[in-house]
Amino acid sequence: MKVSSGNRGDAVRSDCYIELWDEGGVTNQVFLKSKVKALYGKSIETLCLEMLEFFELQGVSVNIEDSGALPFVIAARLEAAIKQFNSIEKSFLFEKLPENDYPIAPNRLRRSRLYVPGNNPKMMINAGIYGSDAVILDLEDAVHPAKKAEAAILVRNALCQVNFYSAERMVRINQVPEGLNDLEYIVPFGVHTIVIPKCESPDDILFVEQRIRKITGKAGAVHLIPIIESALGVENAFEIAVSSENIVAMAIGLEDYTADIGAQRTEAGNESFFARSRVINAARAVGIQPLDSVFSGFEDVEALSKTAQNAKALGFEGLGCIHPGQIKIVNESFSPSEKEIEKAKKIVFAFFQAEKEGKGVVAVDSKMVDAPVVKRAQKTIENAIVFGLLNQNWMESYGNELG
């Protein structure tokens, strides 16, 4: 029997294609075709032979067509081939990078989240350098059904070995119940947040949490973000949002949603206005972040900017990205503008002064300012401080400025 895994071809980079077959006898053999054979041939061969021994194989031959794969990629491809060849439970694990050992607060910024196909090592390796708030390694729609098993192993190894800088490490599993089996590949390996697609009822969350508890032995080990992508999901949005304390945000997925209600997705977005508002309202009612869908036209910068502005105006705190070129625009769109910050400063300061004089309401620029307006302005100020756009002690200097 001959099995294979990985990718080959002119366009393939940082990956490899592996064939494995039974040759008989007791020795294992590795045949390598690589441009970097002179430099790394020996170490690639050693890694492969070590793995074959680890998986207790004998008399096996391995053919590798290498396109510049890192060791964690070669190991993932070989493990995937071995697991097709033999049903073995063991896993060949890499150490976790100490650089990736940073916590993610539940309410941290999630303006931009970059989707990266879970079977594409080249895109994974650089995913953290573009400055998105989160990176989503995708095991669902961005992976061909025939490649799901090898993607899970690759994502596991990437979580351990790729430096994601300060991005939140998210993985989108497959739809529950199939997606529950993805969890063992990601939960123990430093994932911050699990994205649950096509979420339709609180049971989906419950099953994910049960499986996580089985894996880690405790509750609350990871954050969760359900994606609402169907008519039923929209109807149940609040019940889903409130179903677990580990849910930190809720997203909407408009491609699937519009298909589900039998509408076309348009730029104006009238067809999804109700669903988006419903998701925002449900999320806000529970105190979690509402996140908008992805914007797929990655070359249309103007439309992206408009979409992000509209999303922010509706109440969303972030937008999904599929291409690194989208990140800067999305981050900027969801950060407070200079004008917003100036206005917020005025309001908070005026209210602070009014409070000192024992007043509950005050006028700023001939508009009434009361508690809810102040609350919003305070949120803008908080964000501006987080983004480094405002100093923690701004009020003091502002007061001095006004004299």
Contact residues for ligand COA, defined by CB under 6 A? 114-117, 122-123, 126-127, 138, 141-142, 294, 322-324
Quote the least distance from Cβ 256 to ligand COA, whole Å: 10
Quick one: 106 or 131, whose CB is closer to ligand COA? 131
**With CB cut-offs between 5 and 8 Å by kind, which of Mg ion, ligand COA, none does residue 311 bind?**
none
Q: In what order do the strands lie in the sheet with 2-6?
A: 2-6, 15-22, 60-67, 29-33
Query: Taking CB within 5 to 8 Å according to partner kind, which of Mg ion, ligand COA, none is near residue 211?
Result: none
Cα distance from N-terminal residue to C-terminal residue, the chain: 84
Say how far apart CA 319 and CA 294 lie, in whole Å. Answer: 6
Q: How many residues bind Mg ion (CB under 5 A)?
A: 3
Query: CA-CA distance, 53 to 262, in Å (whole number)?
Result: 54
260 binds Mg ion (CB under 5 A): no
Map the footprint of Mg ion across residues 199-228, applying CB under 5 A: none
**DSSP calls for 138-202:** ESSTTS-GGGHHHHHHHHHHHHHHS--TTSEEEEE-PSTTGGGGGHHHHGGGT--EEEETT--SH
Q: Which stretch binds Mg ion (CB under 5 A): 199-207, 250-258, 259-267, 268-276?
A: 250-258
Which residues ranging from 114 to 153 are in contact with Mg ion (CB under 5 A)?
Answer: 141
For residue 134, what are the β-bridge partners? 113, 168
Under the binding rule (CB under 5 A), the answer on residue 256 touching Mg ion is yes
Cβ neighbours of residue 359 closer than 8 Å, sequence gap 6 or more: none
Closest CB to Mg ion among residues 203, 256: 256
Question: Minimum Å distance from CB 229 to Mg ion?
Answer: 6
310, 358 contact by CB (below 8 A): no
- 256 touches, from Mg ion, ligand COA, none (C-beta below 5 to 8 Å by class): Mg ion
Report the distance separating Cα 339 and Cα 375, nearest Å. 17
Q: Could you tell me the smallest distance in angstroms from the CB atom of residue 253 to Mg ion?
A: 5
- Distance in Å, CB of 254 to ligand COA, minimum: 10
With CB under 5 to 8 Å by kind, the binding choice for 117 among ligand COA, Mg ion, none is ligand COA
Q: Given the complex with Mg ion, which of 6 and 117 has the nearer CB atom?
A: 117
Alpha-carbon distance of 325 to 120, in angstroms, equals 18
Select from 126, 104, 127 the least CA-distant residue to 114: 127
**Residue numbers of the site for Mg ion (CB under 5 A)?**
141, 253, 256
